[in-house]
C-alpha cells in the first residue's frame, strides 16, 4: 500500500509518500500499527488525524487493501 | 447549478461571476493573511493542499450546500504556497435568488472547509 | 472603525477596500435587480431615497453593528434612480478580524436596511 | 410645519413637500388628522407609515412644532 503524508505528518516522517508492504487487507487499527512501527512520532497525530482513500475519508470499519493509496490527513487549517 | 473550485499558487484576483438570470444576491468572502499568527508578527503563511482530494471534497460539499439552499452558483479559489500578509488565501462567491441562502452557503462552506478539506497552513514566515 | 455610506445614481463599481492591518475577513453582499418583480418580467427598477435620512440611518446602524461585532470597516453603496436588470442596487463590504462578525454585520445590516432605511423601489420598467 | 412625501405617499399627494399651517405643537395623532383632511387617500398608508424629523424616526409621544420639517415614511423597500 502507498501512504501519503501531508503537513505535520510529512514533517514527522520526512517523506511525502512511501510504500508499506502488506499481503492482506488491514483494518484502520492494524494500518496505524504498521505506521507507528515505522514512525513512532506519528503517535502524536493518531487521535486527531483521519485516513482517506480515493479523495474521501475512510469509514472507521473500512478495510485497506494491499494496493490502496491511503492519505494520512492531519487536522486541516485551510481558509 | 454551477460549481467551480480552483486551487492554485497564483495570486487570487476576485472576479465578478457571470450574470445569471434570476440571481438577485451575490455574497462573497475573502480570507486574507493577517500580520500575526498566534501572537507573533509574520510576513506570510504557507499553505499546502492534498489537491485532488481538496478539490473533490470542496466540490461535493458545494453541490450539497447549493442544492440544500437553492443557490445558482458557487466559485471557490484557494491559494497554496506562500501567501504574503494582506493577500487572499481564499475567495468564495455565491450567487442566489435571495440573500439568505447565499449567506447560509457562505457560512456553512467556511465551517466545513475548516473541518474537512485537506488544506493546511504549514508554516509562517516571521517578520 | 471606518464607516462609509454612499447613495448615488451612478453605476456601482465594487472596489476592494483598502487593506487594513488585522483584517483577516472581508465579506461582501451585492443585491442586483432580477428580471422579474412580483412575477412580471421587467427591464429595470426605480429606486428613490430620502437621502439625508437614509445616509444618517445607515451610518448610525453601521456604527452600532460594527461596534457590537468588532468589525474594522463597513462600506455601503446604494444606487437610486433607474437600475437596469443585472446591475447592482446595493453593495456592502465588511472588514473584520474573523469571518463570523463580518457575516453577522452583513446579514444584520441587510435586515435592518429593509426595515428602517428610507429607500424605496418606486417603479418597475416592464420588459 | 413642512411635510415631505416620498414614494407611494408622494404619488397620493401629488407633491413632494408642502406647508401645513399650525400655531401650536401637535401630537402625531393630531398631525395625521391634518394630513388626512388634506389628502384622505393617505389613510391607506397611516398604519404602515412612520413620521421622521431630523433624520430620525419620531417617538410615538413626540410633539411636532409649528416650524418642524416632518417626513412621511411609507414602508421601505431598499436593497
- Condensed to tens digits (0 to 9), the pLDDT of residues A15-59 reads 999 999 999 999 999 999 999 999 999 999 999 999 999 999 999
| Residue C110 with chain D: CB contacts under 8 Å | 79
Q: What is the ipTM of this complex?
A: 0.93
CB proximity under 8 Å: C 83-122 to D: 89-90, 110, 113-122
What are C44-91's pLDDT values in tens digits?
999 999 999 999 999 999 999 999 999 999 999 999 999 999 999 999
Which chain C residue lies closest to B20 (C-alpha atoms)? Answer: C86
Least confident of B36-50, C6-20, C62-76: C6-20
Provide, as residue numbers in chain D, all residues whose Cβ is less than 8 Å from the Cβ of C57: 55-56
Could you tell me if A19 and A1 are in contact, meaning their C-beta atoms sit under 8 angstroms apart?
yes
**Distances from the Cα of D51 to the Cαs of A50, A54, B91, C49, D23, in angstroms?**
60, 63, 43, 15, 19
In-domain check, residue D50? yes
Count of C-beta atoms within a 10 Å radius of residue D67? 8
**Closest Cβ opposite residue C32 in set B24, B31, B32:** B24
Q: Is D52 a member of any domain?
A: yes
Q: Under an 8 Å CB criterion, which residues of C touch B?
A: 14, 16, 19, 21-35, 86, 97, 99, 102-103, 106-107, 110
Region C103-120: what's the mean pLDDT?
A: 97
Q: What is the structure's pLDDT at C127?
A: 86
The B-side interface with C (CB below 8 A) comprises 14, 16, 19, 21-35, 86, 97, 99, 102-103, 106-107, 110
Q: Do C115 and D76 touch (CB under 8 A)?
A: yes
Question: What is the arithmetic mean of pLDDT over B5-29?
Answer: 90
CA D53 to chain centre: 10
Do the chains contact at D77 and C90, CB–CB below 8 Å? no
Exposed e or buried b per residue across B39-57, where buried means at least 16 C-beta atoms within 10 angstroms of its C-beta: eeebebbebbbbeebbbbb
The Cα diameter of chain C in Å comes to 47
Q: What pLDDT score was predicted for residue C20?
A: 78
Q: Is residue A12 part of a domain?
A: yes
**Structural domains in chain D (count):** 1
Q: For residue C61, which phi and psi values (nearest 5 degrees)?
A: -60, -45
User: Does the pLDDT of residue C17 top 80, yes or no?
Assistant: no
Looking from the CA of A37 toward its CB, the CA atoms found within 13 Å total 8
| Contact check, Cβ <8 Å, C114/D7 | no
Nearest by CB: C28 against B19, B28, B34 = B28
The answer to whether residue A78 sits within a structural domain is no
Residue-range domain boundaries for chain B: 2-11+24-126
Cα separation, B30 vs A23, in Å, equals 47
Q: How confident is the model at residue B15 (pLDDT cuts 50, 70, 90)?
A: confident
Whether residue D37 lies inside any domain: the answer is yes
In this structure, is residue D43 part of a structural domain?
A: yes
pLDDT class of B77 with cuts at 50, 70, 90: very high
Decide if D77 and C114 are in contact by the 8 Å CB cutoff.
Answer: yes
- The CA-based angle B16-B20-B21, given to 5 degrees, is 150
CATH of domain B2-11+24-126: 3.90.1170.40
The three three-digit cell numbers of residue B19, written as one number? 450574470
C19, pLDDT greater than 80: no
Please list the helix, strand and coil fractions of chain B in percent, rounded to the nearest 5, in that order: 30, 45, 25
Handedness of CA C94, C96, C99, C104 (dihedral sign): negative
Q: What pLDDT, on a 0 to 100 scale, did the predictor assign at position B19?
A: 74
* Domain annotation covers residue A9: yes
Chain C residue with minimum CA distance to D55: C53
Give which of D76, D73, D70 is closest to D54, Cα–Cα: D70
* Contact state of B113 with A56 under an 8 Å Cβ cutoff: no
Asked if D51 is an interface residue toward chain C (Cβ–Cβ < 8 A), one would say no
Which pLDDT band, with edges at 50, 70 and 90, does C121 fall under?
very high
Put simply, the answer to whether C122 touches D76 (Cβ < 8 Å) is no
Which domain, by its residues, includes A8?
A: 2-73
Say if D77 is an interface residue toward chain C (CB within 8 Å): yes
At residue A28, the 3 state secondary structure works out as helix
pLDDT given for residue C91 in this prediction: 97
Q: What is the mean pLDDT of the segment spanning B4-30?
A: 90
Is D60 domain-assigned?
yes
Cβ distance of B99 and C21 shorter than 8 Å:
no
pLDDT, mean of residues A4-25: 96
Residue D59 neighbours by CB distance under 10 Å: 10
CATH of the domain at A47: 3.10.20.30
- Rounded mean pLDDT of chain B? 94
Query: CB–CB of D79 and C89 under 8 A?
Result: yes
Amino acid at each position: 500500500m502507498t501512504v501519503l503524508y501531508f503537513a505535520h505528518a510529512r514533517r514527522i516522517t520526512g517523506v511525502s509518500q512511501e510504500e508499506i508492504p502488506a499481503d492482506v487487507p488491514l483494518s484502520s487499527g492494524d494500518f496505524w500499527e504498521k505506521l507507528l512501527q515505522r514512525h513512532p512520532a506519528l503517535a502524536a497525530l493518531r487521535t486527531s488525524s483521519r485516513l482517506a482513500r480515493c479523495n474521501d475519508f475512510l469509514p472507521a470499519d473500512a478495510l485497506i487493501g494491499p494496493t490502496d493509496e491511503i492519505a494520512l490527513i492531519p487536522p486541516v487549517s485551510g481558509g | 447549478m454551477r460549481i467551480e473550485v480552483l486551487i492554485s499558487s497564483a495570486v487570487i484576483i476576485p472576479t465578478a461571476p457571470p450574470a445569471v438570470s434570476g440571481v438577485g444576491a451575490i455574497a462573497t468572502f475573502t480570507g486574507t493573511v493577517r500580520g500575526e499568527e498566534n501572537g507573533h508578527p509574520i510576513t506570510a503563511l504557507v499553505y499546502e493542499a492534498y489537491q485532488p482530494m481538496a478539490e473533490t471534497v470542496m466540490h461535493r460539499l458545494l453541490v450539497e450546500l447549493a442544492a440544500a439552499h437553492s443557490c445558482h452558483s458557487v466559485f471557490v479559489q484557494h491559494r497554496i504556497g506562500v501567501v504574503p500578509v494582506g493577500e487572499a488565501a481564499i475567495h468564495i462567491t455565491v450567487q442566489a435568488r435571495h440573500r439568505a441562502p447565499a449567506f447560509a452557503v457562505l457560512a456553512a462552506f467556511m465551517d466545513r472547509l475548516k473541518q474537512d478539506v485537506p488544506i493546511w497552513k504549514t508554516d509562517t514566515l516571521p517578520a
